[in-house]
Every structure is written in C-alpha cells, then in structure tokens.
Amino acid sequence: MPTSANTKHLTSIERERIRRAVRIARLMDTAVRLPVIGVRIGADSVLGLIPAVGDVAGSLIGLFIINEARRLGIPNHKLARMAVNLGIDAAGGTVPLIGDLFDVYFKSHRRNVGIILEHFGLSEGELDRRM
C-alpha cells in the first residue's frame, strides 16, 4: 500500500493508539478460529451470549475504539460511519441467538479499525513493521 501523507505525521503515541485499537479489535472479533467451519470469533461473540450485559460490554469497547479514532483526528464523517457500524452490531446483538450469529459475521470492531487504517494509509502489517 502506498504511503499516504497522513502516515508521515503519526507520532509514536498515535501509532501506539492505532496498534492498541487493532489488538482490541482482533481480540473482540477474530481471536480464535473455530475448527472444522473455519470461522473466526472473538470475545464479542462470547460476551453476546450473556443477556444484556454482554452486548453492552461489547458496545462500550467499540466506543473506546471510536474515541481513539476521534483522538487521532479522524474526520467526523468517518466517525459517523464507525458509529453506524457499532449501532448495527449493537442492534443485531439484541435478537436472542440470531443476534449472536450476526456478531460472528458482522465484526464491527474490525470494520472500524479498518476505517482508521485506511485513513492513515496503513495496513496492519505495515503498522507492526514501522517504528
């Protein structure tokens, strides 16, 4: 991926914020690959099995990622897109059982981190390599 002008202006603190958001999204959405079916799930899918509390916890973690994006200077229209992703995930998660299956496939945290990475012209691999 070509280096964007935004990438040159990242401080080590900002780069670490992005890394932290990526790690959290990985944990929440794709931490474990289920054998046989090959689908990746994370803590969000497991938390969703706990009525009400699980979905609220997943949404609060999603709000943390959105706040990190705000602190990084992501434009409002992208923050709004991130909020919509989180809202869809939260609304879908309210439906018993079907909502839990929805969580396995929608992965709002990964989508939102993708928006952050795209804004700065980074891939996850580049982020890990850059100092």
Taken as a whole, the chain contains a residue count of 131
Which residues does residue 33 pair with via DSSP β-bridges, in sequence order? 40
Q: What is the pTM of this model?
A: 0.88
pLDDT of residue 46: 87
pLDDT of residue 1: 43
**Residue 9, both tokens:** 């202006």
Most confident of 5-14, 20-29, 31-40, 87-96: 20-29
Mean pLDDT confidence for 48-77? 93
Residue 93: count of CB within 10 angstroms of its CB: 25
